[in-house]
């Protein structure tokens, strides 16, 4: 019978007290794990190093809002940009890809954000080397849509289903127009999983999405610093056609406006995702062009170009980082407290165990042996608590991740493993050594003759 | 195996700071395989003597030799190891560990000696004390007589050459006393183990070839 078995026996002898102390350690560790994993997930979610775009172009305002809205779809859009501006960007000789994005509506069922865009959106990797994949088709047609994997799962939607969208405006009314799902995206672990993508042309064609003409003219005039006449001249062809249509009686054919394209003047985008042109001979050129471009914008128009990585990094270091620090310290403190409870439990048992220790000494155990037995006990309790805590922590994450995803739209992989977790085992052994030392010393010092006779 | 004490003195310190002499033994010897009953008045120092012999209590001066090894000069850990391997102990109150089964209590007796626990031997010992059918019983599930028999089996776990028994039958009912005593003596004879048995009972002492009254060789008791 080795010291480990002996230690295990005495733990089993005081099973209730032992398991309660181990449980208190487990709870502390579980909280720590939850914090660590939540932190890993949040860092991973907010780390845009791998995003396929160099810049997000949007209306002037908070950089963070622009990123949260465009990438995470959790903040309302700041404002919109004229579609004409998107067309200009497309022609910019330094810009490789420009993808328009229109946000603001959500699905009637499940309240998932609806994003109007072109199929170019899906051609850019959503993370380093990771391409979007659809189960069937891309939304090439005006009334076609692809949906994220979480949307499909939660709404129980499949290819061929149709849905309506709710306008985010004051009236909250449900649009009559229906989109047809032509594909379900493979899970990406990004906010795309919770997004419904619709063809941008269909998005504009929905009643109420086209901006009233005079308002659009005023907005463009202000945006580009032009006079109303200049704007009208730019859109002359479109305006002429619209006037021709105005005489029409729409009552006979309700959805006549579905059939013809919305004029550019009345279109707006929430943001434009930009990828600079790459130069294979000079890999840093795209980066510096991006910086140049966003510096230019800062002076001119009412638009801004944001490198999405930076505001998120600021958010992480300034806010999330500090919260994490507080939480980790808090859980460390909880673990320490549970360590103290193990100490109290073992220490209290020492007085009634002096006789057992004396018996073992009489049977020939030396002082180190009885010291080791007590220390082993403490290590078993701490380790059992630690391992139980790790399991419990992951269980907690597994339980909470769908809830969190539904509430915040942040996608959490419940199987994530933080390398920091590995340090928990040695830390628990260290704690056990600390906690078991004084009771071990009591055992070490136990007077054999005195305690044998009692 | 022989046991020899030379000029062994042991004083306890009284709470008021005075020295309390308990043992002053110029010479004592127990031959190999010999069985002796140690008798003496209560408080005379019998238990203290056994503790000194087993190395649990270090005498203030003098030598304790077991098999010509002077255990009083060994470092404490070596003395503990020596005790584990050479000396068996049977107590008045059995001193079994309540969390361990009969079998495990015997194995525990093997845990602190060199070498692997000999499970077959442990089982055999319990069979020889008539407890082959009680291996997995915990002490609380055993009768008083059975508990002492487990303790006897445990004391012999490492094939000791000396068995120290401190009033082993005092907690056992009269009917069992005889059985226990016979068991101890027979096993010791069988394995050629020297036996030093403390008793208050003249009947028990009378059964031994050699009865040693403590006051005969403990000078502390002679001065009073
Ligand atoms: N740790 C101690 N500190 C002080 N005095 C002690 C200590 N242990 C024993 N004594 C004293 O030493 C004397 C001898 O004690 P011991 O237990 O050896 O006697 P004993 O012969 O075994 O008695 P009994 O037959 O009643 O068991 C007693 O007077 C006791 O009070
Ligand atoms: Mg005594």
Contact A394, A33 (CB under 8 A): yes
Cα–Cα dist B102/B122, whole Å: 10
Kindly report the number of other CB atoms within 10 A of residue B168's CB atom.
Answer: 27
On average, the pLDDT of chain B sits at 92
3-state SS of A345-413 is HHHHHHHHHHHHHHHHHHCCCCHHHHHHHHHHHHHHHHHHHHHHHHHHHHHHHHHHHHHHHHHHCCCCC
B43 lines ligand 1 (CB under 6 A): yes
Confidence (pLDDT) at A410 = 65
Of the bound ligands, which one is closest to the alpha carbon of residue A447? Answer: 1
Question: Structure tokens of A289?
Answer: 């062009």
Helix axes A3-13, A15-46, angle to 10 degrees: 100
Interchain CB contact of A364 with B (< 8 Å): yes
Size of interface A-B (CB pairs under 8 A): 77
User: Cα A176 from chain centroid?
Assistant: 32
Span from the CA of B40 to the centroid of ligand 2 (angstroms): 10
Question: Structure tokens of B32?
Answer: 């190999």
Question: Which mutation among B48, B92, B196 tests ligand 1's pocket best, with the greatest number of atoms within 8 A of CB?
Answer: B48
The residue whose CA is least distant from atom 14 of ligand 1 is B45
B171-209, pLDDT tens digit by residue? 888 888 998 999 999 999 998 999 999 999 999 999 999
Question: Is there a single domain that holds both residue A176 and residue A292?
Answer: yes
Question: Is there a single domain that holds both residue A72 and residue A42?
Answer: no
Interchain CB contact of B169 with A (< 8 Å): no
Q: Decide the pairing of beta strands B210-213 and B35-39.
A: parallel
Indicate the SS3 state at residue B199.
coil
In the block, which residue shows the tokens 């471009």? Answer: A293
Question: Is there a single domain that holds both residue A319 and residue A244?
Answer: no
Question: Structure tokens of B48?
Answer: 């203290």
Question: Is there a single domain that holds both residue A65 and residue A207?
Answer: yes
Cα–Cα dist A380/B22, whole Å: 43
Contacts of B48 in chain A (CB under 8 A): 449
Confidence (pLDDT) at A280 = 81
Interchain CB contact of A153 with B (< 8 Å): no
Alpha carbon separation from A331 to A23, A30, A305, A327 (Å, rounded): 15, 9, 40, 6
Domain residue spans in chain B? Answer: 33-60+74-222
Q: Across the interface, do B112 and A369 touch by the CB < 8 Å criterion?
A: yes
Confidence (pLDDT) at A255 = 44
Interchain CB contact of A365 with B (< 8 Å): yes
Question: Is there a single domain that holds both residue A302 and residue A325?
Answer: no
Confidence (pLDDT) at A25 = 87
Interchain CB contact of A17 with B (< 8 Å): no
List the single residue in B with minimal CA-CA distance to A3: B111
Contacts of A10 in chain B (CB under 8 A): 99
Give pLDDT tens digits along chain A (454 positions): 889 999 999 898 888 888 988 898 898 888 888 888 777 777 777 777 778 888 899 988 888 888 888 888 887 777 888 898 898 888 888 888 999 999 888 887 888 899 999 999 999 888 888 899 999 999 999 899 999 998 998 899 999 999 887 766 555 666 777 899 999 999 888 889 989 999 998 888 876 667 788 888 888 888 888 888 888 888 888 888 877 776 554 444 444 444 567 788 888 899 999 988 888 888 788 888 888 888 887 777 678 888 888 888 888 888 878 888 888 888 888 888 888 888 888 888 888 889 999 999 999 999 999 999 999 999 999 999 999 999 998 888 888 888 877 666 666 776 777 787 888 889 889 989 999 999 999 999 999 999 987 6
Contact A197, A107 (CB under 8 A): no
Question: Is there a single domain that holds both residue A299 and residue A235?
Answer: yes
In the block, which residue shows the tokens 């709870």? Answer: A27
In the block, which residue shows the tokens 């094939």? Answer: B159
Quote the domain boundaries for residue A388. Answer: 3-46+313-453
- Expressed in angstroms, the distance from the first to the final Cα of chain B is 34
Indicate the SS3 state at residue A301.
coil
Ligand 1 atom with the smallest distance to the CA of B40 is: 21
In the block, which residue shows the tokens 């810009």? Answer: A95
Identify which of B144, B151, B90 has the alpha carbon closest to the alpha carbon of residue B126.
B151
Confidence (pLDDT) at A254 = 46
Complex-level ipTM beyond the 0.85 threshold: yes
DSSP string spanning B58-120? --SEEEEEETTEEGGGS-HHHHHHHHHHHEEEE-TT----TTS-HHHHHHHHHHTSSS---HH
Question: Is there a single domain that holds both residue A352 and residue A258?
Answer: no
Identify the residue among B11, B71, B87, B99 best suited for mutation to test binding to A, counting A beta carbons within 10 A and taking the highest.
Answer: B99
Sign for the CA dihedral angle at B66, B67, B68, B70 comes to: negative
B104-145, pLDDT tens digit by residue? 999 998 999 888 889 999 999 999 999 999 999 999 999 999
Alpha carbon separation from A144 to A119, A161, A201 (Å, rounded): 11, 10, 10
Confidence (pLDDT) at A108 = 79
Q: What is the pTM of this model?
A: 0.75
Alpha carbon separation from A37 to A29, A337, A397, A404, A427 (Å, rounded): 12, 22, 8, 13, 18
Domain final position from A307, A340, A375: A307
B46 lines ligand 1 (CB under 6 A): yes
Question: Is there a single domain that holds both residue A290 and residue A330?
Answer: no
Q: Which one of B87, B91, B111 has the shortest CB-CB distance to A2?
A: B111
Q: Which residues are paired to A100 by β-bridges? A: A272
Question: Is there a single domain that holds both residue A125 and residue A34?
Answer: no
Q: What is the CATH number of domain B33-60+74-222?
A: 3.40.50.300
- C-alpha torsion angle, residues A74, A79, A84, A86 (rounded to 10): -30
Question: Is there a single domain that holds both residue A73 and residue A203?
Answer: yes
Question: Is there a single domain that holds both residue A28 and residue A90?
Answer: no
Cα–Cα dist B165/B54, whole Å: 11
- Give how many domains chain A has, as a whole number: 2
Cα–Cα dist A93/A82, whole Å: 20
Of the bound ligands, which one is closest to the alpha carbon of residue B10? Answer: 1
Question: Taking CA B120 as the corner, what is the angle to CA B114 and CA B122, rounded to the nearest 5 degrees?
Answer: 70
Contact B35, B195 (CB under 8 A): yes
Q: Across the interface, do A356 and B97 touch by the CB < 8 Å criterion?
A: yes
Kindly report the number of other CB atoms within 10 A of residue A258's CB atom.
Answer: 14
Confidence (pLDDT) at A261 = 74
Could you tell me which residues come within 8 angstroms of residue A336 by beta carbon, excluding any fewer than 6 positions away? A431
Mean pLDDT (whole number) for B21-30: 94
């Amino acid at each position: 019978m080795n010291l480990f078995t002996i230690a295990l026996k005495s733990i089993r002898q005081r099973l209730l007290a032992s398991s309660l102390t181990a449980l208190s350690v487990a709870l502390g560790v579980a909280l720590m794990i939850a914090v660590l994993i939540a932190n890993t997930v949040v860092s991973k979610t907010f780390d845009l190093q791998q995003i396929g775009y160099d810049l997000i172009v949007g209306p002037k305002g908070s950089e963070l809002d622009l990123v949260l809205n465009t990438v995470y779809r959790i903040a309302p859009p700041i404002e919109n940009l004229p579609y004409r501006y998107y067309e200009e960007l497309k022609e910019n000789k330094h810009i490789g890809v420009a993808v328009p994005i229109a946000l603001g509506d959500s699905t009637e069922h499940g309240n998932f954000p609806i994003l109007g865009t072109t199929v170019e959106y899906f051609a850019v990797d959503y993370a380093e080397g990771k391409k979007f994949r659809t189960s069937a088709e891309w939304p090439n047609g005006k009334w076609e849509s692809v949906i994220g994997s979480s949307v499909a799962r939660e709404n129980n939607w499949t290819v061929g289903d149709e849905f309506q969208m709710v306008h985010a405006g004051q009236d909250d009314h449900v649009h009559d127009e229906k989109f047809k799902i032509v594909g379900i995206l493979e899970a990406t672990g990004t906010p795309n999983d919770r997004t419904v993508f619709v063809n941008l042309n269909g998005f504009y064609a929905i009643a109420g999405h086209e901006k009233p003409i005079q308002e659009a003219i005023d907005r463009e005039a202000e945006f580009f610093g032009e006079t109303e006449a200049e704007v009208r001249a730019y859109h002359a062809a479109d305006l002429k056609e619209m006037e021709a249509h105005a005489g029409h009686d729409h009552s006979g054919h309700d959805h006549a406006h579905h059939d013809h394209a919305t004029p550019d003047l009345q279109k707006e985008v929430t943001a434009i995702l930009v990828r600079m042109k790459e130069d294979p001979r000079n890999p840093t050129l795209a980066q510096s062009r991006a910086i140049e471009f966003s510096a230019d914008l800062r002076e001119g128009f009412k638009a801004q170009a944001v490198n999405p990585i930076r505001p998120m990094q600021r958010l992480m270091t300034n806010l999330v980082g500090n919260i994490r620090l507080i939480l980790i310290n808090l859980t460390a403190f909880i673990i320490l407290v549970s360590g103290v409870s193990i100490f109290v439990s073992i220490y209290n048992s020492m007085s009634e165990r002096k006789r057992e220790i004396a018996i073992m000494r009489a049977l020939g155990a030396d002082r180190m042996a009885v010291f080791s037995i007590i220390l082993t006990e403490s290590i078993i309790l701490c380790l059992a608590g630690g391992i139980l805590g790790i399991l419990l922590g992951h269980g907690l994450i597994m339980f909470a991740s769908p809830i969190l995803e539904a509430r915040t739209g942040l996608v959490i992989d419940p199987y994530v493993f933080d390398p920091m977790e590995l340090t928990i085992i040695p830390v628990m052994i260290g704690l056990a050594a600390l906690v078991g030392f004084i009771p071990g010393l009591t055992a070490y010092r136990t007077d054999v003759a005195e305690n044998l006779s009692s | 195996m022989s046991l020899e004490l030379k000029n062994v003195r042991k004083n306890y310190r009284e709470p008021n700071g005075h020295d309390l002499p308990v043992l002053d033994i110029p010479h004592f010897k127990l031959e190999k395989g010999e069985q002796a009953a140690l008798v003496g008045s209560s408080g005379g120092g019998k238990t203290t003597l056994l503790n000194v012999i087993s190395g649990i209590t270090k005498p203030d001066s003098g030598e304790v030799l077991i098999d010509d090894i002077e255990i009083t000069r060994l470092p404490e850990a070596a003395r503990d190891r020596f005790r584990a391997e050479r000396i068996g102990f049977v107590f008045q109150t059995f001193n079994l560990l309540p969390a361990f089964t009969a079998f495990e209590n015997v194995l525990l007796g093997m845990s602190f000696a060199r070498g692997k626990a000999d499970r077959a031997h442990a089982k055999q010992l319990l069979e020889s004390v008539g407890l082959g059918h009680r291996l997995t019983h915990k002490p609380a599930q055993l009768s008083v007589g059975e508990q002492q028999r487990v303790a006897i089996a445990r004391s012999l776990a490492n094939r000791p050459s000396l068995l120290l028994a401190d009033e082993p039958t005092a907690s056992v009912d009269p009917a069992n006393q005889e059985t226990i005593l016979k068991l101890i003596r027979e096993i010791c004879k069988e394995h050629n183990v020297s036996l030093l048995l403390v008793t208050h009972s003249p009947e028990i002492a009378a059964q031994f070839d050699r009865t040693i009254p403590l006051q005969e060789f403990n000078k502390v008791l002679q001065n009073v």
